[in-house]
A and B are shown apart, each in its own frame.
Chain A
Amino acid sequence: MQRTKQTPKIFLMYMIGYLLLMEWLIPLPEVTNTGYVPVFMAAAGFFFLVMFLQFPWWVTLLLTAGGMLFSIHSIFLDETLFSIQWWQALYIEGTTNISYMLEGRWYGMSDMFRSFLFMLLLSIMSYLLYFWIVQARRILFFFLFTVIYIGVMDTFFVYDGTTAVIRVFVLGFILMALLQWDRLVYYYPGAVQSRFVWFRWTMLALFLLACSTAVGLLLPKAEPQWPDPVPFLERTAGIETPAGSGGETVQKIGYGENDEQLGGGFEMDETPVFTASGGDVGYWRGESKNVYTGRGWESNTPERPSPVSGFYDDSVETTQQNVTVQIAQEHAGAFDFAFYPGSLQDIEVPNQNVSLEVDRYTGRASTTAAGEPLAPRRYELTYGYPEFSIEQMQSASTNDPQYIEDYFLGLPDDLPSSIREQADEITSGENNRYDKVRAVERYFNSPEFTYDTSNIAVPEQGEDYVEQFLFDTQRGYCDNFSTSMAVMLRTVGIPTRWVKGFTKGSESQAGENSTVYEVTSANAHSWVEVYFPGTGWVPFEPTRGFSSEFDYSQQENTEENNETPEREEEQQEQQQDTEEEEQQQNQEENDTQAAASSSGMPKWPFIAGGVLVLAALLYVFRFTIIKKGMLLRFRHTKDAASFTRAFYSLLRLLRHAGFDRRDGETLREYGKRMDEWFAVNDMSTLVHEYEKIHYGGRPKKENWDHITAVWAKMVHRIGT
């Protein structure tokens, strides 16, 4: 490396480079598990200082290595510095980790070794920045990449880069202005007549920068054009990242009591909740809520206990079924109420006298023993499994009882009118309540809606949960779909309530008429119940990717006479949907497994990284490589032809180095310019030889050894 005169100005520029590099370290604690960032910063500062002082190479090497060891010592090692134990600990660390590295067991490497590698990277960066700033006087690329880095950190991670990006902007431009001045001085030495010019230049640059920064800060900022690129990218790339990397609220899936604030993604959780064995079940109902607040669901119904749930009118055909529920170990005592399919008729807890109180409005089946709430581990349910008659629902009147109107049609006063307009539009072609409900349900099956559980938006203050889902994100899970459907139906005067519970769970055959259902937290679900006078509360499933277990096909088959062909098609579609949906449900489970199994590190990043590093090295050392090749090829120049080729390759090399022969420039002028540039007269000598050979008409005997030597000297100078 050519020695450059160290001035305070160069030091200042190099330190700005250091600050830019530090912007790369600042986000690390927030996005990775890196600790002790101040130590790394101090170490990097030390490396920069050592690099700046330009000691002989071995001093630099010693100091850098010493700085690394000391930093590592201060973070990790308890032994006395440079004691025998200390060296031993280091040696053991080093050998084991290098063997891990050679075996490709990247995850085996210890924190200490990774810190060491990171230090190594920092010291290389100190060299690189020295090269960029002090030698090449160029920083644009690093500056640009720093901005991109901050942008990526801000977008994809928890890190908030608002102030960082301003810092980088200001520092980067100051550095660029200073470096630009240096380059000007280099290329136009005449420009530095007065010492004040530099001062004026710097002041002007700072002034412009201050103005643009101030204007930038004061100007109104446009909202992001993408609400968040992460889901978009994931959707495009088809990647399902494990949730939790985003900046949004992330919950674990499961059954919760509080639904006042919906939204946000959740993590899959396969903790078993209960297992059940018995007859056909639909969804497992927990309870329903009736008040939509714009952000979630609450309940304001009076307590009206009854011994049975009585969801359906007598006209609904039900089959009486039994099922035994065993609450899992993890949730023992968590539920002082029962989850049940269909309409609950009775509960029995072995060896205990338990009374059942089913709330008439919410359907919550509380279990009490001797007046105290009881959370039974095992209970047996008797319930009616319904078959709804579509025709009956289609022909049902719209005269709802008073209590239904009171509690199940309410909407927030500030509900955006767009929801009502949308609901009107969807249901405008239908003339009965059932078809309207089906129309809305179908609407949610349209392709613009996507089922997704991670990175789901939470409505901001003043935003409506349903509106956000319907018109903005259109991505979500059961809560989004069910709430939206319930609210939309209410806007067109159809009483609904929002139900939560569990899906059926994974089934396995246990005996002749008995199925075992395993229900885990991942089966937690929410759906909609619609009230039909004469039928009662009928469940519907709007969530894309789920099919309700209240498949209406069975029931419709009993009314074959009234079936229209259209309806059959619809049924087939539904059945197809069901298959797809089941696949999707399964996939949900598989994905979490896949994420776990893929942790064995894909190979391609290493290959791509290797190729990149190789390309970068080739680029950095391109002159050296090309020059070596040239010198090798033309080392025995002995005649006019080979000299001509050598001369042309020299011209190409010069052109590659940015010294192109200008239009209208003769070889002689060019040679003179090059000689002035490199402060030699070799190029003119070569041009003279070239002219003698090619313009002289009569090639003569030349002193080829001398010419080759001059040529090699010239080649050596380029790119240094």
Chain B
Amino acid sequence: MKVETERSGLQQVIENIERVVVGKREEIELSLTALLAKGHVLLEDVPGVGKTMMVRAIARSIGADFKRIQFTPDLLPSDVSGVSIYNQKTQSFEFREGPVMSNVVLADEINRTSPKTQSSLLEALEEGSVTIDGRTRDLEQPFFVMATQNPIEYGGTYPLPEAQLDRFLFKLKMGYPTYEEELSVLKRVEQNHPIQELHEVLSLEDILKMQEQVSSVYVDDAVKQYIISIVNETRTHRDVQLGVSPRGSIALMKASQAFAFLKGREYVVPDDIKHLAPVALSHRIILRSDLQMVEKDGEDVIRDILSTLRVPLAGKEMVQ
């Protein structure tokens, strides 16, 4: 019963966001899944398809404060994490929080900044804390980062190394809206932007509580086997140079727990894995370099594996 009420809460969040972002229910669900799994999302798409709007809508719906960092080539790590300034009045160093010290952070065009600055953010993603002037400061909880990356412009960018891509739970694509969806977008913003009217549906405490509950979602061994067999396939697939690491397996399992929770289930089914594997694993593999020319990406490879891999059934031992 408890799950049900929380589910209805989450359901309201989704509906709330949908008021702002049209026709992106799947992306919204996945983003919330990442939030519940204490993960972060990398959005890879062209500008203007509603990436920012989605993050803001999520932040508003859960009553979180929202910060946006526009990554530019001259951005310094301290611009992200914060800086200590000497206060002459008090004659002491005073810490000025950077934008990362927030619940929901939008890291816009993360590949435009220098690797040094990138890694300062990514450390925050992985550790949940930042170290400034030798002092480690915990970040606020919940902490949810949505980084965006423009796949078209390569000039003057610093593509994220694969090891750092690994820190994101999902890599999502928004895609253009359909004709009807875009029409409805235009109608909605005709007078004033609906984001202004969004109100808080869940509190940050609710989210923290849910994050705790997610880890108690049951994952059967058959599901774990399914995860491992998918991951193993990526390691032996002929198009793949570097397969998914065990960190990827863990991420997929955690994500599936959160997704099952989002769907109001106390257990994970193989469908969750199959649904999440493309977004959770595609940025964790490196394709053979000669394949990048044939417009095949990691997602294609993962879908390829999913469509040929026999899904193991639980409970087989009962029939023998």
Give the interface of A toward B (CB within 8 A): 640-641, 644-645, 648, 661, 663-669, 690-698
CA distance A645 to B218 in the complex (A): 23
Q: Which of A640, A645, A666, A693 makes the CB contact (< 8 A) with B311? A: A666
Is the Cβ of B269 less than 8 Å from the Cβ of A668? Answer: yes
Interface: B160 (CB within 8 A): no
Is the Cβ of A666 less than 8 Å from the Cβ of B274? Answer: yes
Is the Cβ of A663 less than 8 Å from the Cβ of B271? Answer: no
Among B267, B307, B315, B319, the most chain A Cβ lie within 10 Å of the Cβ of B315
Is the Cβ of B315 less than 8 Å from the Cβ of A694? Answer: yes
Is the Cβ of B318 less than 8 Å from the Cβ of A645? Answer: yes
Is the Cβ of A663 less than 8 Å from the Cβ of B308? Answer: yes
CA distance A691 to B273 in the complex (A): 14
* Given A644-B319, A648-B319, A690-B315, residue A667 in contact with residue B218 (CB < 8 A): no
Q: Within the complex, what minimum Cβ distance (angstroms) separates B262 from chain A?
A: 16
> Which residue from chain B places its CB closest to the CB of A698 in the assembled complex?
B218
Q: Give the residues in chain A near B306, CB-CB below 8 Å.
A: 664
CA distance A666 to B313 in the complex (A): 9
A–B pairs, 17, beta carbons within 8 Å? A640-B318, A644-B315, A663-B308, A663-B310, A664-B274, A664-B308, A666-B270, A666-B311, A694-B315, A695-B218, A695-B223, A695-B268, A695-B270, A695-B314, A696-B266, A696-B267, A697-B220
> Which residue from chain B places its CB closest to the CB of A688 in the assembled complex?
B269
Q: Give the residues in chain A near B222, CB-CB below 8 Å.
A: 694-695
Q: Within the complex, what minimum Cβ distance (angstroms) separates A659 from chain B?
A: 16
Is the Cβ of A664 less than 8 Å from the Cβ of B307? Answer: yes
CA distance A695 to B312 in the complex (A): 12
CA distance A691 to B220 in the complex (A): 10
Is the Cβ of B218 less than 8 Å from the Cβ of A693? Answer: no
Q: Give the residues in chain B near A665, CB-CB below 8 Å.
A: 311
Interface: B49 (CB within 8 A): no
Is the Cβ of B318 less than 8 Å from the Cβ of A641? Answer: yes
Is the Cβ of A645 less than 8 Å from the Cβ of B319? Answer: yes
Q: Within the complex, what minimum Cβ distance (angstroms) separates A509 from chain B?
A: 82
Q: Which of A641, A666, A669, A697 makes the CB contact (< 8 A) with B218? A: A697
Is the Cβ of A666 less than 8 Å from the Cβ of B267? Answer: no
Mask of B288-314 contacts with A, CB within 8 angstroms, 1/0: 000000000000000000111111011
Q: Within the complex, what minimum Cβ distance (angstroms) separates B266 from chain A?
A: 7
> Which residue from chain A places its CB closest to the CB of B275 in the assembled complex?
A666
Is the Cβ of B267 less than 8 Å from the Cβ of A695? Answer: yes
> Which residue from chain B places its CB closest to the CB of A690 in the assembled complex?
B315
Give the interface of B toward A (CB within 8 A): 218, 220, 222-223, 266-271, 274, 306-311, 313-315, 318-319
Q: Which of A644, A645, A668, A694 makes the CB contact (< 8 A) with B220? A: A694
Q: Give the residues in chain A near B311, CB-CB below 8 Å.
A: 661, 664-667
Is the Cβ of B269 less than 8 Å from the Cβ of A666? Answer: yes
Q: Which of B269, B310, B319 makes the CB contact (< 8 A) with A664? A: B310
> Which residue from chain A places its CB closest to the CB of B304 in the assembled complex?
A664
Is the Cβ of B218 less than 8 Å from the Cβ of A664? Answer: no
CA distance A388 to B1 in the complex (A): 121
Knowing that A644-B318, A691-B267, A696-B267 touch, tell me 11 more A-B residue pairs with CB under 8 angstroms: A640-B318, A663-B307, A664-B306, A664-B308, A666-B274, A667-B313, A668-B271, A691-B269, A692-B267, A695-B267, A698-B218
Q: Within the complex, what minimum Cβ distance (angstroms) separates A718 from chain B?
A: 19
> Which residue from chain A places its CB closest to the CB of B315 in the assembled complex?
A694
Q: Give the residues in chain A near B319, CB-CB below 8 Å.
A: 644-645, 648
CA distance A645 to B320 in the complex (A): 9
Q: Give the residues in chain A near B268, CB-CB below 8 Å.
A: 695
Among B274, B308, B311, the most chain A Cβ lie within 10 Å of the Cβ of B311
Q: Within the complex, what minimum Cβ distance (angstroms) separates A314 from chain B?
A: 100
Q: Give the residues in chain A near B223, CB-CB below 8 Å.
A: 695
Q: Give the residues in chain A near B271, CB-CB below 8 Å.
A: 666, 668-669
Is the Cβ of A695 less than 8 Å from the Cβ of B220? Answer: yes
Q: Which of A641, A645, A661, A694 makes the CB contact (< 8 A) with B314? A: A694
Q: Give the residues in chain A near B269, CB-CB below 8 Å.
A: 666-668, 691, 695
Q: Give the residues in chain B near A698, CB-CB below 8 Å.
A: 218
The 4 closest A-B pairs by CB, nearest first: A694-B315, A694-B314, A697-B218, A664-B307
Among B222, B223, B269, B308, the most chain A Cβ lie within 10 Å of the Cβ of B269
Q: Within the complex, what minimum Cβ distance (angstroms) separates A527 from chain B?
A: 78
> Which residue from chain B places its CB closest to the CB of A692 in the assembled complex?
B267
Q: Within the complex, what minimum Cβ distance (angstroms) separates A379 from chain B?
A: 94
CA distance A692 to B315 in the complex (A): 11
Q: Give the residues in chain A near B309, CB-CB below 8 Å.
A: 663-664
Q: Within the complex, what minimum Cβ distance (angstroms) separates B173 from chain A?
A: 22
CA distance A252 to B34 in the complex (A): 98
Q: Give the residues in chain A near B220, CB-CB below 8 Å.
A: 694-697
Q: Within the complex, what minimum Cβ distance (angstroms) separates B232 from chain A?
A: 15
CA distance A641 to B316 in the complex (A): 10
CA distance A664 to B309 in the complex (A): 5
Is the Cβ of A667 less than 8 Å from the Cβ of B318? Answer: no
CA distance A78 to B185 in the complex (A): 90
Q: Within the complex, what minimum Cβ distance (angstroms) separates A249 from chain B?
A: 66
Q: Give the residues in chain A near B266, CB-CB below 8 Å.
A: 696
Q: Give the residues in chain B near A668, CB-CB below 8 Å.
A: 269-271
Q: Which of B218, B308, B313, B318 makes the CB contact (< 8 A) with A696? A: B218
Q: Within the complex, what minimum Cβ distance (angstroms) separates A691 from chain B?
A: 5
CA distance A668 to B311 in the complex (A): 11
Q: Within the complex, what minimum Cβ distance (angstroms) separates A593 from chain B?
A: 63
CA distance A546 to B268 in the complex (A): 90
Q: Give the residues in chain A near B274, CB-CB below 8 Å.
A: 664, 666
CA distance A348 to B231 in the complex (A): 113
Among A644, A664, A668, A695, the most chain B Cβ lie within 10 Å of the Cβ of A695
CA distance A640 to B274 in the complex (A): 26
Q: Give the residues in chain B near A695, CB-CB below 8 Å.
A: 218, 220, 222-223, 267-270, 314
CA distance A695 to B218 in the complex (A): 8
CA distance A645 to B220 in the complex (A): 19
Q: Give the residues in chain B near A641, CB-CB below 8 Å.
A: 318
Q: Within the complex, what minimum Cβ distance (angstroms) separates B36 from chain A?
A: 19
Q: Within the complex, what minimum Cβ distance (angstroms) separates B268 from chain A?
A: 7
CA distance A257 to B305 in the complex (A): 87
CA distance A183 to B160 in the complex (A): 53
Q: Give the residues in chain A near B308, CB-CB below 8 Å.
A: 663-664
* Given A664-B307, A668-B271, residue A693 in contact with residue B315 (CB < 8 A): yes
> Which residue from chain B places its CB closest to the CB of A649 in the assembled complex?
B319
CA distance A664 to B304 in the complex (A): 9
Q: Within the complex, what minimum Cβ distance (angstroms) separates A702 from chain B?
A: 14
> Which residue from chain B places its CB closest to the CB of A665 in the assembled complex?
B311
CA distance A695 to B260 in the complex (A): 12
> Which residue from chain A places its CB closest to the CB of B303 in the assembled complex?
A664
> Which residue from chain B places its CB closest to the CB of A669 in the assembled complex?
B271
Q: Give the residues in chain A near B310, CB-CB below 8 Å.
A: 663-664
Q: Which of A667, A693, A696 makes the CB contact (< 8 A) with B270? A: A667
> Which residue from chain B places its CB closest to the CB of A646 in the assembled complex?
B319
Q: Within the complex, what minimum Cβ distance (angstroms) separates B106 from chain A?
A: 34
CA distance A666 to B271 in the complex (A): 6
CA distance A693 to B318 in the complex (A): 12
Q: Within the complex, what minimum Cβ distance (angstroms) separates A433 from chain B?
A: 83
Q: Within the complex, what minimum Cβ distance (angstroms) separates B302 from chain A?
A: 11
CA distance A174 to B170 in the complex (A): 56
Is the Cβ of A697 less than 8 Å from the Cβ of B315? Answer: no
Q: Within the complex, what minimum Cβ distance (angstroms) separates B316 from chain A?
A: 8
Q: Give the residues in chain A near B318, CB-CB below 8 Å.
A: 640-641, 644-645
> Which residue from chain B places its CB closest to the CB of A664 in the assembled complex?
B307
CA distance A669 to B311 in the complex (A): 11
Among A640, A641, A697, the most chain B Cβ lie within 10 Å of the Cβ of A697
> Which residue from chain A places its CB closest to the CB of B274 in the assembled complex?
A666
Q: Give the residues in chain B near A645, CB-CB below 8 Å.
A: 318-319
Q: Within the complex, what minimum Cβ distance (angstroms) separates A654 from chain B?
A: 14
> Which residue from chain A places its CB closest to the CB of B305 in the assembled complex?
A664
Q: Within the complex, what minimum Cβ distance (angstroms) separates A341 from chain B?
A: 87
CA distance A665 to B315 in the complex (A): 17
CA distance A696 to B223 in the complex (A): 11
Q: Within the complex, what minimum Cβ distance (angstroms) separates A336 from chain B?
A: 93
> Which residue from chain B places its CB closest to the CB of A693 in the assembled complex?
B315
